[in-house]
Amino acid sequence: MLNQSFISLATTVVFGVSWAANLCVAEEMLGPIRIAISRAIPLLQAGAQGSSEQRKCFTCHSQAVPVLALAQARAKGFAIDEQIFDQQVEHTLAHLKRGQKEYVAGRGQGGGVMTAGYALWTLDTDEHGPSEVTAAVANFLLSHQQNSNRWRQASKRPPTSGSDFTTTYVALRGLLTFGTESQQPAIAKRAQQVSEWVLKQDPVETEDRVFRLLITALIQADQATIQNAISTLVDSQQTDGGWGQIENAPTDTYATATAMFALQHAGKLTQEHACIQSGIEYLLQHQLDDGSWHVVSRADPFQTYFESGFPHGNDQFISIAASGWATLALSLSLPTD
């Protein structure tokens, strides 16, 4: 059953109130948001640490997204375990170092562009500067599918691995952040190709819409283009405040949290926006008593199962990613102290 106070908040939003009233509602949410984030942090840390202790490889779901969430929570004043955070960044760097020769040769590591792009994003949260390792990874991203106007996703393990929009965003973001001076002409060329491609695309799934918006902001598209990407994502929000991964699918935390991240980070929507308020209510209502969010996986399993310390059994990979995105989205909604 939905908490009656949240139903009241949702009703207020639906029937259209003044900006001042929306601001009042937003202020009432601050306490529950902070509690939700505080409850999620220990589980994200445990899941990330457990994964890195049992597996040498870097993963997007158990390192990248939790690290992004922990970094944003820390920026908003939450205490995190700095040792665990540093361990995850070092784990990520060590993984890239093991594949450095392969990156220099333009072959990369398992996971291809997704691994490379998300790993660079993870390093960026710790303000890791350019190095020989990141230059090698950038070399791979530049040379990979160099005759294409985007980075194509090789695997189909939705929702995190299955969209060319996602692959293209993490690749281009990595290049723009870590590209060397000598790589800049080639990076500019790839960025221009992406700009031309993304303007012609009609996103099909929420993952597409999320990362299309992130790309338009990354390439500094004109305001009309960014607004179109915002509107397309906002218009796909369901009546319960959430988003579904695909058309006619039930809403879930992964799709909702990634949409909320993109709308706040790239779309610059604030908590006073009715769409953001409804999304926050959704995330607060769907957090479980243990502090996690559970999402059922729809990807075919191929990795050997192991317990990372994060709950939900066979759904733990998508659930830790969803919980990380939810924590990140909620943290973005808080004012900066």
Q: Tens of pLDDT along the chain (337 residues)?
A: 334 343 344 434 433 444 444 555 578 889 999 999 999 999 999 999 998 888 878 888 889 999 999 999 999 999 999 999 999 999 999 999 999 999 999 999 988 999 999 999 999 998 888 999 999 999 999 999 988 999 998 767 667 767 999 999 999 999 999 999 999 999 999 999 999 999 999 999 999 999 999 999 999 999 999 999 999 999 999 999 999 999 989 999 999 999 999 999 999 999 889 999 999 999 999 999 999 999 998 766 666 667 788 999 989 999 999 999 999 999 999 998 6
For residue 159, is the peptide bond before it cis, meaning its omega torsion is within 30 degrees of 0? Answer: yes
Could you write out the DSSP letters of every residue in 199-260? Answer: TT----SHHHHHHHHHHHHHTT--HHHHHHHHHHHHHT--TTS-EESSTTPPEEHHHHHHHH
- What are 36's two structure tokens? 């939700």
Give the Cα separation of 42 and 62 in Å (integer): 13
* Residue 62: partners with Cβ closer than 8 Å, 6 or more residues away: 47, 48, 51, 52, 308, 310, 317, 320
**Contact, 126 vs 89, CB < 8 A?**
yes
Give the closest residue to 152 by CA, choosing from 112, 179, 115, 122. Answer: 112
Domains observed in the chain: 4-333 (1.50.10.20)
pLDDT of residue 302: 60
For the whole model, what pTM was predicted?
Answer: 0.90
Give the Cα separation of 309 and 255 in Å (integer): 23
User: Given its phi and psi angles, is residue 202 left (phi above 0), alpha (psi -120 to 50 degrees) or beta?
Assistant: beta
Give the Cα separation of 64 and 104 in Å (integer): 22
pLDDT of residue 25: 52
* Residue 274: partners with Cβ closer than 8 Å, 6 or more residues away: 13, 22
Q: Radius of gyration of the chain from Cα atoms?
A: 19
Burial class (CB in 10 A: 0-12, 13-18, 19+), 98: middle
DSSP 3-state of 264: helix
Could you write out the DSSP letters of every residue in 304-321? Answer: PP---S-SSGGGHHHHHH
